[in-house]
Amino acid sequence: MTHRTVVLIPTFNESNSILALIQELNQLNVDIIVIDDDSPDGTADLIDKSHFDRVSVINNGSKNGIGPAYLSGINQVISRGYEKIVTMDADGSHLVSDVEKLILKSSHFDVVMGTRWMPGGEVFNWSINRQFLSKFGTWYARKCLALPFKDLTSGLRIYDVEFLKKVDLEAIRSNGYCFQIEMIKALYSQGATISEEPIHFVERRTGESKMSGSIVIEAFLRVSWWALKRRFKPNADKLHYVK
The class (CATH top level) of 5-241 is alpha beta
Cα-trace Rg, the chain: 17
pTM confidence score: 0.93
- Position 239 scores a pLDDT of 86
Type of residue found at 202: V
Type of residue found at 145: L
Alpha helices per DSSP H over 96-127: 96-105
Give per-residue pLDDT as tens, 164-197: 999 999 999 999 999 999 999 999 999 999 999 9
Q: What are phi and psi of 227, to 5 degrees?
A: -65, -40
For residue 11, give the H/E element and its range. Answer: strand 5-11
Give per-residue pLDDT as tens, 76-122: 999 999 999 999 999 999 999 999 999 999 999 999 999 999 999 99
Q: Are 8 and 78 in contact (CB under 8 A)?
A: no
Could you please report the per-residue DSSP string of 23-71? Answer: HHHTTSS-EEEEEE---TT-HHHHHHHHT-TTEEEEE-SS---HHHHHH
- Position 210 scores a pLDDT of 66
Calculate mean pLDDT across residues 57-76: 91
How confident is residue 3, by pLDDT bands cut at 50, 70 and 90? low
What SS3 class is residue 179? helix
